[in-house]
Amino acid sequence: MDAIQKNLLREVAALDALPQGAYNIRSNGVSAARNTTANIDIVTKDDKPGIDIIIKPGTKKESVHIPVIISETGLKELVYNDFFIGEDSDVTIIAGCGISNCGGGDSEHDGVHSFFVGKNAKVRYVEKHYGEGTGTGKRLMNPTTVVELEEGATMEMETSQIGGIDDTTRITRAAMKENASLIIHDKILTNKDQKAVAQINVEMNGDGSSCDIISRGVAKDESYQEVVLGISGNAACSGHAECDSIIMDHGVILGS
């Protein structure tokens, strides 16, 4: 792994070396390293690009790292990662993508992450997106996150775009059953002429369910952000949405 790839790994997954526990590192369109544990399995999909992450019921205090790094200009990919989190488990999942584009072609990573969180399970999910490079080609990312929370399940999401992404559409959809809880903290930084669109929609379908969505945006130079937050309460539930922005220079942030 070259110096550029190691730098991207540090940025998206806070790593100085390979992580402990289960991990899958995707580099320039292929799996570069993988490790499983007795409680966490990672399986390559047969029908489309991506992996299945299977966490056994009752798994406690274990982690999964699944960073993606792209250092080839002009590379474009779409991957599908499905997470099956067993009942009564308590795990941390670290994801994210880094693109270093020093050439003239656009580099793009699009990913669909689907989480199926079992009854009374607890998940902390951290995702970072980062771009760098001196080339004229763009750095593009379009993540979609789909969450299904069973009865009593809890998920805390910390998602962030920490710089260098020219264009992104970030979509999050969640459905919740009885007494499930969802917390989403989303942070976006844009500058120059970058554009970012974030859409978050939560369906609370069970009594006692709750969600808390906090969006933070910083727009600098001529950059543009659009944030759309939606919460639907279809039972006796509680929800909160908050959107705060810092606008500098000629930046624009629209919220609804």
Query: To which residue do tokens 């799996």 refer?
Result: 31
Distance CA 22, CA 39 (A): 9
| pLDDT on residue 1 | 57
* Pairing verdict, β 76-85 and 50-55: parallel
Average per-residue pLDDT for the chain: 93
Instruction: Report the percent of the chain where pLDDT is more than 70.
Output: 93
Sign, CA dihedral 108-197-171-145, equals positive
Average pLDDT for 13-31 = 78
Domain residue extents for the chain: 3-255
Q: DSSP secondary-structure letter at 215?
A: E
Neighbours of 236 (CB within 10 A): 11
H-type alpha helices, the chain: 3-13
Asked whether 123 and 156 are in contact (CB, 8 A), the reply is yes
Distance CA 193, CA 167 (A): 9
| pLDDT on residue 9 | 67
- Considering only CA atoms, give the Rg of the chain: 18
Segment 122-141, tens digit of pLDDT? 999 999 999 999 999 999 99
Ordered DSSP codes for 18-84: PPSSEEEEEETTEEEEEE--SSEEEEE-SSSSEEEEEE-TT-EEEEEEEEEEE-STT-EEEEEEEEE
| pLDDT on residue 2 | 64
- Is residue 76 scored above 60 in pLDDT? yes
